[in-house]
Structure 1
């Protein structure tokens, strides 16, 4: 009955709105608690000793009325929350709060990210993409911010912290490396390209999240035919933001120049026989375990905007190594 369905939807939406409002109210309250603790810290003569004593006394009093959620550890987290998100200059000194749009669990994790720009990036992306805590943690553990920062210049890195990932050109949508730890393949496990494709399709939701914004699945083993010869494209996607097809060819081992020639053929076919006139040129990505940057540079045209070669890893990367690469690149830019 339509009446029942309509009223059920109204009540579900009202429940969601109420939960969202309650969650935001609690996050705001925790920020204000943290602010008040910091103010008290600053009034004490010995911040370390005085601060611990204040936290312990406050915790004992609050737990009597409000329960275990106000342990000394949790109060320290509220204090750290405020220090990570101090009063914006646009707000007055009265009890105003920033515009918090995520859950307290999100902010507990974000507070542990020391780099301000990296923290801002994950907050923006979580809001824009509606990441739950689990997905935000997965993206952080895979070093998404660092991987994107490595693929752009200083201005682009600064923009990540202010706007998140902006997809305006083909290169904006490409990562190197792609992290496929969700496949649970051991680092040196022997598998075929067919095995890899099967696992990616089996965990398509996770793969779409790793690909990034705007991707939708179209086909696997897509057959194309000309001159009575059949060819099979591993994976075909469409990116709604770029308004173009994205073809992915999977390779085990090192990239070969023939692999780039093959993906170029697939891209040319889609551009000439599949894409509509109002759609943008097709993008081709070869996903390989390793590649020679020199081989890629020499094989592809200088003005290439369509063909990309990216590595993939089946284990989480070391963020320390990614940070060192970013620091080394930044040092080189300064020379």
Structure 2
């Protein structure tokens, strides 16, 4: 068979390879994100259960997270600020069983969702992110517009949801790979 760059057979081959590469990158991104989310959940678990004995604060108080942040940042680089460790701890407390974690959401989603005021609001935003496939940017927009609170106060819940879903930014594989948490977790330069 003669190779003709513009030939239909060659273009078909190239298209199949493009699809395989795209699918492989998507799967790799999802796998890395799942591992990252579970790793941060386990870090939160260790902070709560082992270092703090299940109490709200450790006997060392603020010093524990400050020291842990310094040591982890020195050893592993960015991503282990005191604030991030506080969110990892809250993450474990909000989801005491790892099986309840969504494989559709990235750490960036959870990080934003954990800023919510209560467990019902956290649950609402997780379900909406899964159902509507919200990007982190869309999640932030919905939280800033207080969608949960507007729905709670509204008599026209379907109408509020319909308005809220306009402009939803569907997540692309490129968005997953560009997530700075993935780069930090893997130690990859951006």
* TM score, norm. by length of structure 2: 0.71
Correspondence for 1:41 among 45, 48, 52: 52
Match of 2:123 in 1: 120
Q: Is residue 89 of structure 2 the alignment partner of residue 86 of structure 1?
A: no
Any idea what the Cα deviations from partners look like across 1:124-146, whole Å, max 9, x if unmatched?
A: 11111110011111112222222
Correspondence list, 1:130-145, <5 A = 130-145=133-148
RCO higher in 1 or 2 (8 Å CA, sep ≥ 6)? Answer: 2
| Structure that is richer in helix per residue | 2
Checking the alignment, whether the CA contact within 8 Å between 1:32 and 1:97 is kept in structure 2 is no
Checking the alignment, whether the CA contact within 8 Å between 1:31 and 1:81 is kept in structure 2 is yes
Any idea what the Cα deviations from partners look like across 1:55-114, whole Å, max 9, x if unmatched?
A: 233223322321121122221221121122223xxxxxxxx5533331111111111112
1:131–1:47 CA distance, 2 compared to 1 (3 A)? closer
Unmatched tracts of structure 2, length 5 or more: 1-10, 169-190
Q: Which secondary structure state, in structure 2, belongs to the residue aligned with residue 50 of structure 1?
A: coil
Aligned-partner Cα distance in 2 for 1:142–1:56: 33
- Once the 2 structures are TM-superposed, how far is the Cα of residue 12 of structure 1 from its aligned partner? 0.8
Checking the alignment, whether the CA contact within 8 Å between 1:38 and 1:79 is kept in structure 2 is yes
1:150–1:17 CA distance, 2 compared to 1 (3 A)? same
- Once the 2 structures are TM-superposed, how far is the Cα of residue 175 of structure 1 from its aligned partner? 2.9
Aligned-partner Cα distance in 2 for 1:30–1:176: 31
- Once the 2 structures are TM-superposed, how far is the Cα of residue 36 of structure 1 from its aligned partner? 0.6
Match of 1:174 in 2: 159
| Structure that is richer in strand per residue | 1
Checking the alignment, whether the CA contact within 8 Å between 2:151 and 2:160 is kept in structure 1 is yes
Checking the alignment, whether the CA contact within 8 Å between 1:147 and 1:176 is kept in structure 2 is no
- Number of corresponding residues: 156
Match of 1:220 in 2: none
Aligned-partner Cα distance in 2 for 1:172–1:43: 39
Aligned-partner Cα distance in 2 for 1:117–1:173: 18
Greater Rg by CA = 1
Correspondence for 1:17 among 9, 14, 27: 27
1:176–1:134 CA distance, 2 compared to 1 (3 A)? closer
Unmatched tracts of structure 1, length 5 or more: 88-95, 153-170, 180-205, 210-335
Aligned-partner Cα distance in 2 for 1:33–1:49: 18
